[in-house]
Structure 1
Amino acid sequence: MTELHGADIAVEENDDVSRIQISGPLTVAEAGEAYARLEGVRAGKSRRLILDLAGVSAMDTTGAWLLHRFMREWRKAGSDVALDQASSEFTALIQQAESHDSGCPDHPRQPSLIIRELAALGAATVRVADRFGLLLAFFGLVLARFGRQIVHPRRIRWVALSNQMERIGLNALPIIGLMSFLIGLVLVQQGAFQLRKFGAEVFVVDLVSISTLRELGVLLTAIMVAGRSGSAFTAQIGTMRLTEEVDAMRTIGVDPVDTLVLPRMIALILLMPLLVFYASMIALIGAVLFAWASLDIPVDTFLARMRSTVTMNDFLVGMIKAPVFGMIIAVAGCFEGMQVSGDAASVGERTTISVVESIFMVIVLDAFFAVFFSAIGM
């Protein structure tokens, strides 16, 4: 028998039974050394374990947990475990410890890579659908307020409108002109390089003029306006959201949609056809000059070929798409500005989203327009 600071443990091992007699207090003070002694009696040596608790004078939850853990290991080894001469109080304490032993939770099995990617795709689809719903609701609100201003022109804020027209249109002419001029040069150079293989360099006039008036002029202008003006709309309105100017406007009875959104949208609707016409003309000028300087195509030949190729429908297609693209860019930029919240990092995040959103919707709408105009013969 070994004495362990007031707790006595005696082990008797027969062929098929291990009997352990414990006497004295079995509390937190004796638990550590008592369990170290009990671990010396390895599970599996006998088919049956008997714990004799007749001599136990005191037991707390630590002692009960010690005995439960010891018996649990023997049961896992396939042995039969029994308590002998244990008082009802000690038995209830041990059973309570056993009832709270839920074990460590099993780690959930990680799904396969395909399942994780499908789940991520589904979550992204739900987020896009939610955002599209919010954008559609905002677009409906803006259209309703726009219709009200058309019916009552005195509601239009002319000073804000003229200010936005100067920022969006006049200040954008240099960059749009430069980009359009370079695009015209590139189109002629690349088109002539490919058509030279077939001895049809003169058809580069058809390629450049039709593609510029129908598609490239309006599409490139919309992309540049989205990156320049659409991002500015988001940053301006987003900053006002952070400084609580938008909330202050609502408090004093001023509608933020009428004051902030509609002047920007009306300005873009009015200016986009003019910017598209300007960009298309500058691109054609660049194409004419490059064709004359590098391809030896005289200016009058280029213009004569263009007059015989380009129809009024080609011009109207670009002009019809321009105000629609302008409205989409303005609504997307203002919508993302209204979604800014939290800190300054949200402004940058929403500005990036507004540019990507605007360009994406412009390209999608351009594809729909192409199918529509082809169906009606334009």
Structure 2
Amino acid sequence: MLTAPAHYDLSVQGQRLRVTARGVWTIETAASINDALERDYGAVTYDSVDYHLDGVEDMDTAGAYLLTKAMRVGDDIKDWQLVGGTPAQKTLLSVAADAQMGEPPMEPRQWYDILDRLGRATLRFWDELYATLAFVGQFFVMFFGVLLNPRRLRVKSIVALMEEIGLDAAPIVAMLSFAIGAVIAYMGANLLGALGFSVFMVDLVGVAMLRELAVVITAILIAGRSASAFTAQIGAMKMRQEIDAMTVMGLDTFETLVIPRAIACLLTVPILTFLAMMSGILGGLIVAWATPTQISPALFFSRLQETVDLQHFWVGMVKAPFFALVIAVVGCRQGLAVSGSVDSLGSRVTTSVVQAIFAVILIDAMFAVLFYQLGV
């Protein structure tokens, strides 16, 4: 049974409208005074609204929405505050006010909007760069601290992560590298065979796979597979407040979550790179043997040993630890930056993959310039 219908009083003091509500403001009672209340709102002039709800016995979202119609009369949006009432009533009014005031349609401002987006993107870039550099500095301090005190290493976590990062990724790395080696061999057979230099296809496959493609393909695959996994795992822990619980227990976040993943990447990415090199060369060998060039395996390996210097192998292997650290740092950094929403987790996972792949290609280009200057 309803104890009291919805009643209200309106009074204007200066430019402030005082709305005093009493009774039960629910969908059953408030609808009966909707038209009268709207007319009374439109009959007075004011700049802001004060709500006094001490006499309200009950209120739902329908009643709150009806009261907040005072905040928007025509195209003018009014300021408001709750003077008397409970926290629950304030929450209802806030939700109803957000729905009531909504974003007004904006006129297109082509050049202004472009510059605005560009400026915001620039600020986000510098903020992200600063946060990443701070994270990298903190990471290396903790990383060298753990290396100087090996008892702090979490061996079980490192072994489990090595299985996840390395062993589980080995089939896809080998398969993709095999396919890339085969594609390069086919290209070499077509282009060089037309000139009568089919045997140089071996040089092309060897140098390309050992020096560049094997390590880059491996790094990109690990960036898409493991960096996203790091971000998702750590981000989910942060959303469930597990990281806060670890901090309360006295566990260091870097030592527990970041360092094991970095060490696991450091140990597995070079091994996967070597596997990718061998798979790519095997793909090139099979294509060279199967195509009309008919380069036998013996001739293939003999040519490879004679013309492809061992330094190409070491150039590729030297890059692997740097790529591994970049992938681990970016993945963990984005995971720790996740806020409490699912949208934030999805956004950070995407950012993690994009940043990791971008960093891998950028570092590879820097190595290419460096090795060119060194004559390697």
The superposition leaves residues 143-201 of structure 1 with CA deviations (integer Å, 9 ceiling, x where unpaired) of 10001011111011111111111111111111111111111111111222222232222
The superposition leaves residues 277-329 of structure 1 with CA deviations (integer Å, 9 ceiling, x where unpaired) of 11110110111011101131111111111111211211111111000000000
SS state at 2:201 partner: helix
SS state at 2:345 partner: helix
TM-score normalized by structure 1? 0.70
Aligned-partner residue type, residue 300 of structure 1: A
Alpha-carbon spacing, 1:296–1:130, altered in 2? closer, same or farther (3 Å): same
> Which stretches of structure 1, 4 residues or more, deviate above 4 A after TM superposition?
107-111
Q: Distance in 2 between matches of 1:110 and 1:358?
A: 36
Q: Distance in 2 between matches of 1:338 and 1:254?
A: 15
Aligned partner of 1:99 in structure 2 is: none
Alignment of 1:147-158 (within 5 A): 147-158=144-155
Aligned partner of 1:91 in structure 2 is: none
Q: Which moved more, 1:182-191 or 1:142-151?
A: 182-191
Matched, 1:201 2:191: no
Aligned partner of 1:166 in structure 2 is: 163
User: CA offset at residue 124 of structure 1?
Assistant: 1.3
Aligned partner of 1:126 in structure 2 is: 123
The superposition leaves residues 30-78 of structure 1 with CA deviations (integer Å, 9 ceiling, x where unpaired) of xxxxxxxxxxxxxxxxxxxxxxxxxxxxxxxxxxx9xxxxxxxxxxxxx
Aligned partner of 2:218 in structure 1 is: 221
Unaligned runs of 5+ in 2: 1-44, 46-75, 77-104
Aligned partner of 1:268 in structure 2 is: 265
Aligned partner of 2:85 in structure 1 is: none
TM-score normalized by structure 2? 0.70
Aligned equivalent of 2:327, options 329, 334, 352? 329
Q: Distance in 2 between matches of 1:128 and 1:195?
A: 45
Aligned-partner residue type, residue 305 of structure 1: R
Indicate conservation of the 8 Å contact 2:238/2:340, yes or no: no
Which of the pair has more CA radius of gyration? 1
Aligned-partner residue type, residue 352 of structure 2: S
Q: Distance in 2 between matches of 1:265 and 1:245?
A: 20
Q: Distance in 1 between matches of 2:179 and 2:242?
A: 41
Matched, 1:184 2:171: no
Aligned-partner residue type, residue 376 of structure 1: L
SS state at 1:169 partner: helix
Q: Distance in 2 between matches of 1:271 and 1:231?
A: 17
Alignment of 1:1-378 (within 5 A): 111=109, 113-294=110-291, 295-378=293-376
The superposition leaves residues 317-371 of structure 1 with CA deviations (integer Å, 9 ceiling, x where unpaired) of 1111000000000000001110111222322221111001100000000000000
SS state at 1:198 partner: coil
Q: Distance in 2 between matches of 1:108 and 1:333?
A: 38
Q: What is the number of residues matched between the two proteins? A: 277
Alpha-carbon spacing, 1:190–1:140, altered in 2? closer, same or farther (3 Å): same
CA RMSD after TM alignment: 2.2
Q: Distance in 2 between matches of 1:198 and 1:122?
A: 53
Indicate conservation of the 8 Å contact 2:146/2:152, yes or no: yes
Indicate conservation of the 8 Å contact 2:205/2:284, yes or no: yes
Q: Distance in 2 between matches of 1:250 and 1:366?
A: 37
The superposition leaves residues 184-228 of structure 1 with CA deviations (integer Å, 9 ceiling, x where unpaired) of 111111222222232222111111110111100000000000111
Alpha-carbon spacing, 1:118–1:308, altered in 2? closer, same or farther (3 Å): farther
Q: Distance in 1 between matches of 2:343 and 2:114?
A: 28
Q: Distance in 2 between matches of 1:108 and 1:168?
A: 48
Q: Distance in 2 between matches of 1:109 and 1:173?
A: 54
SS state at 2:214 partner: helix
